[in-house]
Chain A
Amino acid sequence: MMRNAEKVTFLPLKNNTSHERLRYRLNLVEDHLRGSLNILISPEEADLTCAHLLEGLYPQLKWEFPLRIIPPPRDTRKIKTSDITSTLRTTWHVDSKTFAPLSRKDLALQFFDRKLGEIPEEINFYYSVRKVENRPPGYIIDLMIAIPASDRKLEYRIYSALKDLTTKYVDLLFNFRIIRRRGRPLHEIVSEGYQRYV
């Protein structure tokens, strides 16, 4: 773990987290914190796999092992600073305010992914997070849903999933667009800055 850090961001990962998924989640966190990134990995059953993945992804940083593995808190607002220490017993400041919306966003994306998974047709789902000033929660989740061609029935099922998403995550802001591929390859139609949800 990086030394002398002032902030810790929880990065809830499963112990079978893929390299690719870890990378894009790190990108999310990094972007959110504008570079001041420190990571503590969970959850309870996780081992050091994630830590070694991190080492591989960021070889330029100095890491200490073993990382302390802690269970992911259900409510980060309840975490006390003293709960989290590095192996050197350095007390870390927990930026739970930062983590909370991040977690909420991840949950929302998971929820939307599940909703889309209930639809049998071929759907590819991408997202991007855009910061906005003076508009709570401070960012907009842009959703891009790619389908093969115009299909009124399918599109209405996607609108319904979006409605469920907005109803459930009423504290977040979403924007969306359905893209009818019409024979175009995905790399041609997915805008820069969007990531595929995997």
Chain B
Amino acid sequence: MFRLRPKAHLEKAERNKDFVINRLMALADKFPEWVSTVAFYSALHFVAAYLVKEHGLHFKDHEERNKAVVLHLGEITLEYERLYDLALNSRYGSIKDNPEPGEAEDAVRIELARIEDFVRSHL
């Protein structure tokens, strides 16, 4: 199991965010599933950075991490659940389960942005 330090999580979060904003957003009409997937993994590393730094919590499974987000990051829980849901459908659902392009773009502009803002302001 990987146990990254907060700084390493933030670097991963930033790298994923860079990729989704500067590359994938231009493709959102055609590949919204990849926009929402990478947005989620950026958010995952943002919250992981917070959970490691503030609570010493490392997770390898989504269910435990999701619970920790509810318990320790109530302010951004709904945004995180949103990204988790869209990304889960993107990764494992059929093409019909993909988010719509507008939903994927909002996931980056609204949900991911809120999560990043919160985490950065609390670290």
Q: Could you list which residues of chain A lie within 8 angstroms of chain B, going by C-beta atoms?
A: 135, 140, 150, 152, 155-156, 159-160, 162-163, 166-167, 170, 173-180, 182, 184
Q: Does B54 contact A (CB under 8 A)?
A: no
Q: Check B78 against A160 for contact (C-beta < 8 Å).
A: yes
Q: How large is the interface on B (under 10, 10 to 19, 20 to 34, 35 or more residues)?
A: 20 to 34
Decide if B70 touches A150 in the complex (CB within 8 Å). no
Contact A159 B85 (CB under 8 A): yes
- Pick from A150, A160, A167, A174: contact of B63, CB below 8 A: A174
Neighbouring A residues of B96 by C-beta, 8 Å: 182, 184
Whether A166 contacts B78 in the complex (CB less than 8 A), given A135-B61, A140-B63, A176-B85, comes out as: no
B88 and A177: CB pair below 8 A? yes
In the bound complex, residues from chain A placing their C-beta under 8 Å from that of B93 are 177, 179
In the complex, what's the smallest C-beta–C-beta distance from A144 to chain B, in angstroms? 11
How many A-B Cβ pairs are below 8 Å?
56
For residue A94, give the distance in angstroms from its CB to the closest CB of chain B: 30
CB distance from A131 to the nearest CB of B (A): 13
Contacts A177-B88, A179-B89 given: A155-B82 contact, CB under 8 Å? yes
Q: Which residues of A contact B66 (CB under 8 A)?
A: 166, 174-175
B residues adjacent to A (C-beta < 8 A): 61-64, 66-67, 70-71, 74, 77-78, 81-82, 85, 88-89, 93, 96-97, 99-100, 103, 106
Complex alpha-carbon distance, A158 and B85, angstroms: 11
Q: Which 8 A-B pairs have the closest CB atoms?
A: A159-B81, A166-B70, A173-B63, A159-B78, A163-B77, A178-B85, A175-B63, A177-B88
Using Cβ atoms and an 8 Å threshold, which residues of chain B touch A173? Answer: 63-64, 67
Asked if A170 and B67 make an inter-chain contact with CB atoms under 8 angstroms apart, the answer reads: yes
Most buried by B among A156, A170, A178: A178
